[in-house]
Amino acid sequence: MSALSPETIAIVKSTAPVIQQHGVAITSRMYERLFVDPKIKTLFDEAAQQSGEQPRRLAGALLAFASNVDNLDVLTAAIERIAARHVSMNVKAEHYPAVANALLPAIKDVLGDAADERVLNAWGEAYWFLADVLKRREHGLYAQEGYSGPE
């Protein structure tokens, strides 16, 4: 995994205020796009019954990421919690592209012209950076459970 470039870090960080303002709209739109795929929707069904808070939690994670993209150490505890939750829901590496394909267009849907190509490219890179961190941690957790994941 290559580190994020200083330019990508600066662009993503500069979007923190709009993520703060529109984060829940973005993640709500993202779930609408994501749940078109019934295999993905099934993963969330049980969780959705437990809580209606998914868009809010994901928006919080995106905002924390955007705000701290230049100081990722502060996200260690959050990453650990998300990875544990993902493993409990059987999230696998192969699911990450679907979320990217739902999240990036959702950012565009909600932010419109404010999400120009520069912003979308930076978020695309940042998404895959974070996804790689999560996938690696989740792989380790599955291995501890005696399950050797798809990677």
13: its two tokens: 């960080």
CB atoms within 10 A of CB 133: 17
How many other C-beta atoms lie within 10 A of the C-beta of residue 130?
Answer: 20
The minimum distance between CB 18 and ligand HEM, in angstroms, equals 17
Among 89, 109, 120, 124, binds ligand HEM (CB under 6 A): 89
Residue 40 lies near ligand HEM (rule: CB under 6 A) = yes
Answer yes or no whether residue 141 interacts with ligand HEM by CB under 6 A: no
Q: Which two tokens stand for residue 136?
A: 């690696």
Number of residue whose CB is nearest ligand HEM? 47
* Residue from 12, 19, 30, 61 in contact with ligand HEM (CB under 6 A): 61
Kindly tell me which of 100 and 109 has the beta carbon lying closer to ligand HEM: 100
85 phi, psi to nearest 5 deg: -65, -45
| Interacting residue with ligand HEM among 86, 108, 137, 139 (CB under 6 A) | 86
> Residues with Cβ < 8 Å from 81, sequence gap 6 or more?
none
- The C-alpha atoms of residue 127 and residue 131 are separated, in whole angstroms, by 6
Residue 145's φ and ψ, nearest 5 degrees, are -80, 0
Residues at the site binding ligand HEM, with contacts judged by CB under 6 A: 40, 43-44, 47, 54, 57-58, 61, 81-82, 85-86, 89, 91, 95-96, 98-99, 127, 130-131, 134
